[in-house]
Amino acid sequence: MVGDIPLLLLGFFAFRNKMWFLTPCKSNYISPYLFLEKKIMKNLTTMVFIHDEPTAKDLQNFGINAVFLGNPMMDELEKENLYEPPKDKTIIGIFPGSRREAYKNMEKIGVVIKMIKNAYPDLHFVVAVSNAVNRNRLKKSISDINSIDFVKGASVDAVSSSTLVISLSGTASEQTVGLGIQIVSFVGNGSRTTRNRLKGQERLLGGCLKFVHDFPEGVIKEIKNLLFNEKL
């Protein structure tokens, strides 16, 4: 069974057997499992697969057969070969999110893009658009900005082409760090990009994601620092 606790319950009621449970939805870094959730996993699972070591150890201490074998979201991440970045340009990737808040997030990211281009006019940007997001509507969020591509189904291409990534996403941020690219993040719109959640993600990703409190000046400063460190 892959998913969260409600899906585990549904699976148990359907099959009446203990299950192997892959649950990437929670982490002690971001959203720890509640006591009741642990009780359910202890009683209904044969083994639980967790996507970070501290969460696995916490569940083991509760008597759950939990193991950490790596993040399954990193499996089979290969270039799609659907996006060809402009040559001789420094690329900044953008993940605005995969839900409805992506449109408002894109507007906020647009503020950063406009400001950073004043300092680095030759920068180029590529937005990795989720399949759940309307690309044309996302474009309209920052229709007055040039030097920006919107790609769908080519997130690995976008990340691989980028020097750094501005991300207001969850899973995509983990995959970006797994591909070796630094992330800058800040509070967006909606429950997925709150301060507490992003601070937890920063801890989870071991400093490869930099959460910046001060928007937009602090975000601009952090991006400039990263660009300078890359000797661009």
Domain boundaries, the chain: 5-70, 91-229
Q: What is the mean pLDDT of the chain?
A: 88
- Structurally, what CATH architecture does the domain formed by 91-229 represent? 3-Layer(aba) Sandwich (3.40)
* pLDDT, average across residues 164-187: 90
Range 226-230 contact pairs with CB under 8 angstroms and sequence separation of 24 or more: 226/163, 226/164, 226/182, 226/184, 227/90, 227/120, 227/163, 227/164, 230/163, 230/164
* pLDDT, average across residues 10-16: 88
36-56: per-residue pLDDT in tens?
999 999 999 999 998 788 899
Asked whether the whole model's pTM tops 0.85, one would answer no
Residue 231 clears pLDDT 60, i.e. is over it = no
